[in-house]
Amino acid sequence: MPRSAHHDGIRIAFEDLGGAGGDPLLLVMGLGTSRFWWPDGLVDELVHRGFHVVAYDQRDAGQSTHLPDRREGSPFAALLRRTPPAYSAEDLADDAVAVLDALGWERAHLFGHSLGGLVAQRVAIRHPERVRTLTTSSAVPSDAKGLSVLRYLRLTSLIRFARLHHPETPQGNLALALAAARILAAPGRHIDEHDVRELVDKEAAHQVTSFRDQKAQSRQIGAKWHGGPLAAITAPTLVLHGSGDPLLRVSAARDIAAAVPGARLRVLPGVGHFLTGDVRATYADELRTLADRAAELRTLADRAAELRTLADRAAQQPRTVGED
């Protein structure tokens, strides 16, 4: 059952997907897409590796608050717009923290995919004390603004998205989701209709449809960032990207990894933008390795701090006469 967090009058829907008692992990999905697009198979892999998994709907997606319609153009035209945005990128980052607060999680691992990866980066910059580790998948750098984002995009895929038109019926929703998944898959990569039907059925059960509300997508893309650079991220960071991503060039991942201190980059051969079944175990393994390494580093840092405290106390002790 979904629960709700609230931030500045916005309702943020989130759902506990299992693994209570494990390491807290918050999933952040991409542009105009509901939390139901996190595949059950990937969630199961993450739970199996000791994570307590929660996913949420960003504002203007899924069951979260959709803002009133304005005069919005296409989603990607929002990158070029100079008119005031409906909300800021800081608002999107703070929505994630509102979910952490509602869960009672002081700190959590973040895993963001596509636009969700961009938002997760900004949470790590804006709220470093709340982030244990950061993992981005198929994302652009948060430093990129306006036209500079275009160098990472593959325009052919954007044109294919713009041409998608399917009736708002159960069959039309499935056809739309299948078409979107095939655009997002790596060239030559088979998309299992069962996997996509699973996502669509979950949305239908909650009266949600992704990819249809272009005005909402425009508002999300148009949110402007006024915060710090990627170099300000202190959380241990993993950058994942598929070499066959038909939407975002691998250079996006390389630039993120180059900008974040100590970040590790993994490019997966033949993998696209869609989270297909054959990458789920690999992604879960990577997140577990990152979390374990971060825990080791934190333990070492805590131990070093304890030793420094003991040394400081010893230095402050009065020396006994004749001790020399």
pLDDT digits (tens, 9 = 90+) for 251-289: 999 999 999 999 999 999 999 999 998 899 999 999 999
Give the class (CATH, top level) of 3-316: alpha beta
Backbone angles phi, psi at 28, to 5 degrees: -125, 110
Q: What is the pTM of this model?
A: 0.90
Sheet architecture: strand order including 108-113: 3-7, 10-18, 51-56, 23-28, 108-113, 131-137, 237-242, 264-268
Q: Which of 101, 130, 137, 148 has its CA nearest to residue 27?
A: 137
Q: Which two tokens stand for residue 272?
A: 């696209």
Place of tokens 């402050």: 316
Per-residue pLDDT of the chain (324 residues; tens, 9 = 90+): 789 999 999 999 999 999 999 999 999 999 999 999 999 999 999 999 999 999 999 999 999 999 987 665 555 555 555 567 889 999 999 999 999 999 999 999 999 999 999 999 999 999 999 999 999 999 999 988 777 888 999 989 988 988 888 988 999 999 999 999 999 999 988 888 999 999 999 999 999 988 788 888 889 988 989 999 999 999 999 999 999 999 999 999 999 999 999 999 999 999 999 999 889 999 999 999 999 999 998 888 777 777 777 777 778 877 665 555
* Buried-exposed string 15-52: b where 16+ CB fall within 10 A, e elsewhere: bebbbeebbbbbbbbbbbbbbbbbbebbbbbbbebebb
Q: Which of 90, 19, 12, 25 has its CA nearest to residue 57?
A: 12
Beta carbons within 10 angstroms of residue 225's beta carbon: 20
